[in-house]
Amino acid sequence: MIGTIFNNILFLDIETVPQYPDYFTAPEKWRELWDKKAEKLAVSEDDDPSTLYGRAGIYAEFGKIICISAAFIKNEKLFVKSFFSENDEGKLLLDFAEMVNGFYDRNKEMQLCAHNGKEFDFPYISRRMLLHKVPLPEIFNTAGKKPWEIKNVDTMELWKFGDFKNYTSLNLLTYIFNIPSPKDDIDGSMVYETFYVEKDLQKIVHYCERDVIAVAQLLRAYNYLPLIEDQNIEIKT
């Protein structure tokens, strides 16, 4: 399907939330700008900027990254490392950029891989880095590059095979490919509440790590390769 050398790939998954705990604690100017965005998102009479506020986290202009989980394969083992913070996104991004630069310095054939990464993870990380004045790692700097010069991999795009079907979730694909996924008490729709109400960042980190492992396993399934067994997955602290 794709000529990928797995040792060249850095798998990613991110978790994001709105920048403020709720709509009414956000600065007035921020609320004005979100109001305009929310107008375009409303689909019923019950939708207003405050009820739609939970969706602010999916937009880099209104959200922030609270966790990035990265993974790479070496000698048929999968190594996972997470970068997370409750209130210092800039430091999170600096630490992540340092890791990416080190990876790229050792391997100029490096590629990124995420599920819906080209539409979400990669540009979101890049935009938040710009806002925090974190220099973009070369692998994220796509300005001026032709489409075929950008070799990053997107497991959702691969599943489309060129068609334009709607979003296909990672959860669905891992299910139909019989990729084991540990039972958890959180999904993507619950990240906002888990972070701001339950204040349980570690639960979100675990969820993010679970998903980046699933992305790596899914790409292996696409390439008719055996899944990496649990004893060969190492989560680095």
Interacting residues of 121 by C-beta distance below 8 A, sequence separation 6+: 12, 13, 14, 114
Could you tell me if residue 204 is inside a domain?
yes
Mean pLDDT, to the nearest integer, of 168-186? 85
We report the CATH number of the domain holding residue 130 as 3.30.420.10
Could you tell me if residue 31 is inside a domain?
no
Query: Is the pTM for the entire model greater than 0.85?
Result: yes
Could you tell me if residue 27 is inside a domain?
no
In DSSP terms, 83 is beta-bridged to 68
Average pLDDT, the chain: 92
* pLDDT at residue 1 in the model: 44
* pLDDT at residue 3 in the model: 42
- Percentage of the chain exceeding pLDDT 70: 97
Could you tell me if residue 56 is inside a domain?
no
- Percentage of the chain exceeding pLDDT 90: 77
* pLDDT at residue 2 in the model: 46
Give the whole-angstrom CA distance, residue 31 versus residue 26: 6
Span 55-85, pLDDT tens digits: 999 999 999 999 999 999 998 899 999 999 9
Which residues in 65-79 are b (16+ Cβ under 10 Å) and which e? bbbbbbbbbeeeebe
Min mean pLDDT across 114-118, 180-184, 222-226 is at: 180-184
Could you tell me if residue 93 is inside a domain?
yes
Confidence check: pLDDT of 27 > 70: yes
pLDDT band at 185 (very low <50, low <70, confident <90, very high): confident
Of the candidates 70, 92, 89, the one whose C-alpha atom is nearest the C-alpha of residue 81 is 70
Mean pLDDT, to the nearest integer, of 75-102? 96
Count of structural domains within the chain: 1
* pLDDT at residue 78 in the model: 96
Could you tell me if residue 218 is inside a domain?
yes
Min mean pLDDT across 56-65, 94-103, 119-128, 135-144 is at: 135-144
Could you tell me if residue 29 is inside a domain?
no
69 phi and psi angles, rounded to 5 deg: -105, 130
* pLDDT at residue 44 in the model: 84
Confidence check: pLDDT of 13 > 90: yes
* Domain housing 183: 6-19+62-226
Give the whole-angstrom CA distance, residue 67 versus residue 40: 28
CB under 8 Å, gap of 24 or more: what pairs does 193-199 form?
A: 193/54, 195/17, 195/66, 195/86, 196/17, 196/21, 196/22
Confidence check: pLDDT of 115 > 90: yes
Which residues in 139-155 are b (16+ Cβ under 10 Å) and which e? bbebeeeeeeeeebbbb
How many angstroms from the chain centroid is the CA of residue 185? 19
Confidence check: pLDDT of 150 > 90: no
* pLDDT at residue 186 in the model: 79
Confidence check: pLDDT of 123 > 90: yes
Could you tell me if residue 28 is inside a domain?
no
* pLDDT at residue 164 in the model: 80
pLDDT band at 146 (very low <50, low <70, confident <90, very high): confident
